[in-house]
Structure 1
Amino acid sequence: MNWVRERTAAVLAGSAIGDALGGATEGFSPEQLRQRYGGRVEGIVPPYYENWKTQRPVSPYHKGDGHITDDTLMTQALIQVYAQRRDHLDAFAMASDLVPLLQTEWRWIPELERESILLQRVFLAEKWLVTRLQYGHVDPREAGVGNVINCGAAMYMAPVGIVNAGNPRRAYDEAIDMAGAHQASYGREAAGIFAAAVAEAMTPGATVDSVIAVSINYAHDGTRAAIEAVAAAARALPAGASHEDIIAVLRDAIRPFDTVGEKYREPNMDARIPSRTKAIEELPVALGMLIAYAGDFRGSILGAVNYGRDSDSIASMVGSIAGALGGAEAVATDWLDAIAEASRMDFGHYAEKLADVAEEIAALDLDRARAQIASLEAVAAAR
């Protein structure tokens, strides 16, 4: 198996594993999780609430027991769009290709335990895509304006990093363009930085340090400041720091940039609104986990799972990057197999589909780069 195919499979495996393990712990504090599960979560666990169907009517989803959530379902939908277009995407592709897919294609939804269209599973911030693009007829490049500022766009941008492997600048630009249809402000910025981080991690010779450096280099405003603060806190952790200390230190570091507040399910009045000084919590914390656990696949994912709050997205992001850095050898195949069975999902199918497209796009990019060089040389010669 060549590099791109191996690393694509590892990225998507890490993303799905983090998503499924973190789904059960999403929305709760570390203390609540330890009480519910009798200590640290070490793998696949049941839902936090036994009566999950009725406990939260606004979100009646079976989170836990190895079920992937909307993070993975949206990632897979984006892979399908790449497979249709077979080239780089933009905000207009989100409108013309992704929105119809959300509304028309039936698939198995693990958390609903039935087949449905994806629109019936995604939450309100993702339904925004259909509301604004399908019914509002808004310019796709501006449709994200007005949506809640969260990780909704960032959570499914790993494929953008994969098709731009080795070119984090291009990954950032592409994700920023695409995410304009879904998010604004620091939510959109996080989508670009996550894609850039995956693109860097997909590069032969990449390291945890190079991923962090790329993330800081391309980030702007509060997102950059938040990543710098969390990275510094993670690097200052003493050797052998406990899992509890890692979680506390990273939470302290992100707190000044987080608008949600201490009670995740009771956000502050000014939560999730545009700002140049704030950041989403998920991406900086994911990068902090990557540092704290030295890129270890299982350790960084479990750190994110036990962090709680938006744990499925944090664990999915760090799992993607750790998978890209570690490759097939790093992937926890025992978790992956159990999640594939519980979610009735063929992850290999999506990995092969995306790897095919990534190789085609890489070949196109090489041809386009050579043509551009020739044009620049011709202009230079004519001076």
Structure 2
Amino acid sequence: MNDVLRDRIRGAVLGQAIGDALGAPTEGMTRAAIRAAHGRVTGFLSDDPAGTDDTEYAALTARILLTHGPGLTPEDVSAAWERTLTGQEGGFAGGGFSEMEAIHNLARGLRAPATGTDNHEQWSDGSAMRVAPIGAYCAGDPAEAARLAGIDAQVSHARDGIWCGQAVAAAVAAATVTDDWRAVVDAGLAALPADSWSARLAARAVAVATGPGDAEARYDELERRIPILHYPWADVAPEATALAFGVFAVVEGDYVEAVLGGVNIGRDADTIAAMAGAMAGALRGAGAIPAAWSSRITELRGSCIRATAGVRLTELADEIADAVAHREEQQA
């Protein structure tokens, strides 16, 4: 494996986690509220920043994928979630509804895909938030990334919840092998069923993001035209995924600005920044992430998933890169 691809795989994994940690304090806020409280956020708002459930579920996803590889099945994911999560002592700090209901369903004997359909959070962004490792593992193969993301998602999601995870995974896979931010967006949009809520909203976001006006005007338009304000929560997958593609496109895939766009747009800011960060990190590489950020988000705390405590992100990214290199050697 060449050094550039290894750096991009690191960029995807670290980029997701750092975006998550940067966006955590502005989650649930509007752009106006963020400006009133903080001005424009340009770095960590906490003296002790950490990733949320987004990054810990991404680490769990990576571990399951590294164990089972391309032969991953919904039963593999169900078994791993049951083994890791159903017996966990203590609360799942910050855990989303979709994941908590999936864990409950597993505990009462269901398996994927029933665990992802027998709940009311089929379309949350809980799948899309955790698939950066899948995209990195499938470097250069968006279709395979979408396939594996669809298998992973079934434990907790259905329909748009699955499709949005597939879009982010496909975009990350494409980003690892291109320098063209448009190719990243195109790969993500291509993974969405054409006549779906997710596809329509993502296409609208990209059209706004690449339309007239300066960056701030386009962020204003994204906030006006994308959020589903009649729903009391901000974790709707079509909304958050569309905003992630939108902020990524506004800044043409620049890592710092894509992540800060997600942080400052509010709504499900940690997840939006995590998704945009995964795509931009894969596109620009870990070298594009400021050292002042990457030096502070290095090891997971296990706040939501106890089993992820102590996971070191760079080591996890390198395990994924080693698996990719091994697969390349086998195919040569």
| 1:208-243 Cα deviation digits (max 9, x unpaired) | 1111212222211111111111111111133xx143
* TM-score (normalizing by structure 2): 0.87
Give the partner amino acid of 1:352.
D
| 1:329-372 Cα deviation digits (max 9, x unpaired) | 312221111233796763212112222233334455x37xxxxx
Matched with 1:24 is 25
Matched with 2:44 is 44
- Cα pair 1:16 1:68 within 8 Å, conserved: yes
Whose RCO is larger (CA < 8 A, sep 6+)? 2
Task: Write the distance in 2 (CA, Å) between the matches of 1:103 and 1:13.
Answer: 27
Residues 281 and 362 of structure 1, relative CA distance in 2, 3 Å threshold = farther
Larger gyration radius, structure 1 or structure 2: 1
| 316-325 vs 180-189, which moves further | 180-189
Residues 355 and 93 of structure 1, relative CA distance in 2, 3 Å threshold = same
Matched with 1:130 is 103
**Equivalent residue in structure 2 for 1:286, among 244, 253, 266:** 244
Matched with 1:154 is 128
**Equivalent residue in structure 2 for 1:247, among 219, 239, 261:** 219
Matched with 2:318 is 352
- Cα pair 1:103 1:118 within 8 Å, conserved: no
- Cα pair 1:227 1:284 within 8 Å, conserved: yes
- Cα pair 2:136 2:176 within 8 Å, conserved: yes
**Equivalent residue in structure 2 for 1:326, among 275, 284, 289:** 284
Give the partner amino acid of 2:52.
T
Matched with 1:229 is 204
Matched with 2:8 is 7
Residues 88 and 324 of structure 1, relative CA distance in 2, 3 Å threshold = farther
The runs of 5 or more residues in structure 2 that have no matched partner are 302-309
**Equivalent residue in structure 1 for 2:116, among 132, 144, 152:** 144
- Cα pair 2:171 2:187 within 8 Å, conserved: yes
Matched with 1:90 is 73
Deviation at 1:93, TM superposition (A): 1.4
- Cα pair 1:161 1:198 within 8 Å, conserved: yes
- Cα pair 1:237 1:246 within 8 Å, conserved: yes
| 300-309 vs 215-224, which moves further | 215-224
The runs of 5 or more residues in structure 1 that have no matched partner are 47-63, 106-115, 273-278, 368-383
- Cα pair 1:103 1:117 within 8 Å, conserved: no
Deviation at 1:128, TM superposition (A): 1.9
Deviation at 1:250, TM superposition (A): 1.1
Matched with 1:35 is 36
The share of aligned pairs that are identical, in percent, is 27
Task: Write the distance in 2 (CA, Å) between the matches of 1:217 and 1:340.
Answer: 33
1:301 aligns with 2:259: yes
- Cα pair 2:12 2:282 within 8 Å, conserved: yes
Give the partner amino acid of 1:351.
A
